[in-house]
Structure 1
């Protein structure tokens, strides 16, 4: 008598643990969701800001070194008659030969300006502000180098000025950069351009969108019934 065949019971397959796929480009928790294009633009603005700072600082120090070697202190060399000339002086005051005798205070103020500009530069989103900050930081550092390393002593050094504007004041390249930065900041403020590149009229609407985006949505909503009617007739 044949023996019965052994019964085979179904064996449940062993499920292997699966590892969820992670998108390498996805932002990690806690990091801001910054598009790659915005990140590249921010890096370009920071590069512009840094390069302009270095150029202004180098131009200021090179021209001061030339003035110290080529000009006689107190002797004016006319360039455009009485309107503009070259005259070497040592300035213990602020830019444009103002606030003489306040060297320590001005050194502290310049240090504060440098720290504030560097910290604020992390929010740069506008080419105009990158130019303004580069001019401002380069000019501030140019005069700050004189404060720290020139006579009569550390943090009390006199700034080298040699660009004589009529009988009004005598300045240097750093002063030109600072004044240009101030003018550019005023223009940006009048145009409503914020540090991050946004404009004042780009404020979000009550629904969280800008006015322009909200108007586009209203136009789409108004066109939708017309499109539906045309499809029903077809």
Structure 2
């Protein structure tokens, strides 16, 4: 097929390659293709991805900054491991941010917004019922929890949530592997959605705290001892 005459193709620059490498490595890590604590080398990654060292190192630096990779001087590069403290920090921060998001969005909940949340829940349940696509279930669970942040219209809060999503995805993927299940329990968000669409903010926040604590306890109990390095 001939190119249109006014089409101008440009080679990929290092920034574009870096973004693609970041996305590829993120996908592999959160899917569990690399085990927590697994050692990686630049040479192996460069050969496997067929990229030069420059953009690869920038990608590694970015993934280290968000906590998916750990680079130790004189020791090497590792996929992040999981500790009880990591989980405690993640769930405590999620609880604080989501609590604030609900406080900010509560008076902005229109009928259309509530219908949107219920649809997100229905989409997640449909994926759970099929039981074949764990990655899609994680994306939809994150999309459900994003609702209050989006509705809050608080840009810094939304930025904080986006920066945490990759780590939440990572822990959700570990949870699926530990339980050998493609997503959360079907009914696990029913009360969350009902309270979010209800009349009492205090009841919603009380449920949120319990929902997050239960998630933490389930994850800690489900993950095997060797993951907690």
- TM above 0.5: no
TM-score by length of 2: 0.24
TM-score by length of 1: 0.24
Structure of larger gyration radius: 1
Higher relative contact order (CA 8 A, sep 6+): 2
Greater share of residues in helix: 2
